[in-house]
Each structure stands twice: as structure tokens, then as C-alpha cells.
Amino acid sequence: MLPKWFNKWNEDNPTNIFGPAILVGVLGGAVFVAVMVISWGNPVAQASLQTGPRGTGMSVPEFNVTRFAPDPTIEAYYTEEPFIPEGGEPLARDIYDNVQVLGDLTEDNFNRVMTAITQWVSPEQGCAYCHGDGDLDTYGEDNLYTKVVSRRMIQMTQNINENWDAHVNANQEVGVNCFTCHRGLNVPSDIWFNITPVTEATEGWPSVQNRATSVSQATSLPSNALEVYLTDYEAVNVHDLESRVAGVPNDEEVASIQKTEMTYSLMNYFSNSLGVNCVFCHNSRAFYAPEENTPQWATALLGRQMVIEMNQEYLIPLEAEYPPERLGPVFADAPKAACKTCHKGYQQPMQGMNAIADWPELATSDAPVYE
């Protein structure tokens, strides 16, 4: 159908027809993607939380797909509005045996809170997880360690809501309850145990680092940061700004390189626990200057002190109550809490859900006030 001269010219001058086709296809695809992005929105759009002066790099960027994604662990959250007492009802301590906490509640509210704790902590085992398989007449017995531990955990929850308001309610009134940590599990995720030394071939400082562990956030940083900084009030600091400082690394007052490495390990843990970066709390111009830190730094400082109290006063003393399988794998120590135990990678636990709106009984160790 084509002229002979045209066919002859093509035979003598062969060319690659696929190159232009590929180029046209790529350009066409790029135009199509651009049109879709404009029409439907950027699928990898970011939001940036500005934490300090602009131009200093003080921002916390986060993909919108992550920022708006619901925390999957709170899908099973159980809640129920309280029964407003009319006055004069018999209280739980007068109805049931051995009610050492929550005794100021009416029977309806006491059973309502017990139902919630069952759903939050032992949804599969039910009431038997703490009370055993006996009938109701045996529920007052303290035969199972789970009941003894649960009682102390209720007291810890009330203490957090009563005395650490500046941390748990720093942004808004949300508080905490059992689900904040447990999320439907008997044992909360992201608890921790003592594991150092982690390197048997060396002694001293090298024995606590240079092996990636979950406690060191899979880095070669020291694995004893939580052991030191979340069970005791030792000062968290980095190297001294002077070039030569008298003292030895073991002195608590000396800001040694060892303390610096341990501080970095702790800060790395904080960042991963909340899903933020360093400038969420610190001014990038002067990390060492607390007077230039953001307001979140003070909230985090209170959080550290709160966790230390939780570990010292509530969790570590329960070691004798636990069976061997619930103790640490190395030193048989009690499970301990830290930032990630509640936060689970979010700036606010349960993405800011109000945990005490329906549970004023867990917000105070006194008789609750219903509104």
C-alpha cells in the first residue's frame, strides 16, 4: 500500500521505534499521575508541627496517612456510662468481702467497673483471671497473684490521675485507665526488664553496649538507660561544655561521655515511644539549654518522674507476687513500665481519647464525683 521508495528507504534506514513510544508512555503516565494528585490529593502529604522558631529546623513532620490513621489497638475499647447514685444505696465494701479498693462505689457502679477491667485486661479469660473458677462466694479470696497485682494497679491508676495531672492532662482532660496500657492484653506490651550486661566478653562500660537490643531501640547505644534513668532520679545529662573537667566517669556529678551515650539512648527511646523527633522537646540551636526548650520538655520531664514513681512504688515491689514465668528472663525482676507502655508510638496515648470520662472511679482514690 505504501510507495516502493518509502519501503526501500525504511529498509536502508532502520530505526528504534520503541524508544519514542516508551518516552511518550512515561510522559503520558506522569501527566496522568499529576492529574490524579491534583484531583484526589497527594497520597503522601505531610503535616508539620512547628515546635520552635521557623528557620531553625524545629518541626515534627508526619505523613497525613499516618497522622489520621486510627490507633488499631483502641478498636476494642469498652466503655459504659456510670450509674448516677440516688443516695443511700449500700456500698460495695458493705456488700462484698475483702473490697480494699473501690469500696466507696455503689453495687451497680462497682460491678460496672469490674466488667470494664475484665474487658480491658482479660477479655478471653473473663472474671476467672483474677477470681478463679469458684463461685461468687470465693471472689473475696486473694488466692491468685493476678488479683493482688490488679488491686495495686487500680491504686496506681488512681494515683496517676490524682497526682500527675500536669503530665496526663497537659493538653486536655483525658487521664488514664487500665486500657491505656493493657489494650486487651493480660500483660501490657512494651514493658521492660533488666538485661545488662549484654556483652559477656567485656567488663565495665563496654559490657552494656555495642549489642542491639529492644531496650536500646536496636542500636549500639547502652542498654541500661532505662534501668538507670527510669528507676531512679539520677540526673540526665550530656558531656560538659568545658574541654577538661576534673572527676571520674562513675561520679554522679560528672557529665561524662558514658553519661552522654546513656542520655542519647534514653532520648532515642523517648522519640520512638511518642513518634516524634528531638525538636519536639528541644531547641535545635541549643540542645543543652533547658531554658530554650519547648513546653513539651517540661511535660516529658514530669513523665519521667511519674514513671520512676510507678516503678519504685508500685511495680518493682510486686516482684514477690509474680510466678517465675512473669519475671524477667535474665534477672527474674518484676516487669516495669516506661513511656511506650502507654504511648505506643503516639504523642498522646489512645490518640487523646478521654480515658476517665466514663470512669471517674479511676480518677480518684476518694469517693468519685458523678456529673
> pLDDT tens-digit profile of 269-317?
999 999 999 999 998 888 888 888 999 999 999 999 999 999 999 999 9
pLDDT in tens, 213-248: 888 988 999 999 999 999 999 888 887 777 777 777
Neighbouring C-alpha atoms within 13 Å toward the C-beta of 304: 21
Q: How confident is the model at residue 203 (pLDDT cuts 50, 70, 90)?
A: confident
Name the DSSP letter for residue 83: P
pLDDT of residue 51: 79
pLDDT of residue 136: 85
Name the DSSP letter for residue 74: G
Beta bridge partners of 106: 91
Q: Output the average pLDDT for the chain.
A: 89
pTM, two decimals, is: 0.85
The domains of the chain, with CATH numbers, are 73-189+344-371 (1.10.468.10), 192-337 (1.10.468.10)
DSSP 149-195: HHHHHHHHHHHHHHH-HHHHTSSSS----HHHHHTT-SS-TT-B---
Least confident of 13-17, 70-74, 310-314: 13-17
Name the DSSP letter for residue 62: E
Q: Rounded mean pLDDT of 38-48?
A: 67
Q: Rounded mean pLDDT of 321-341?
A: 97
pLDDT of residue 1: 66
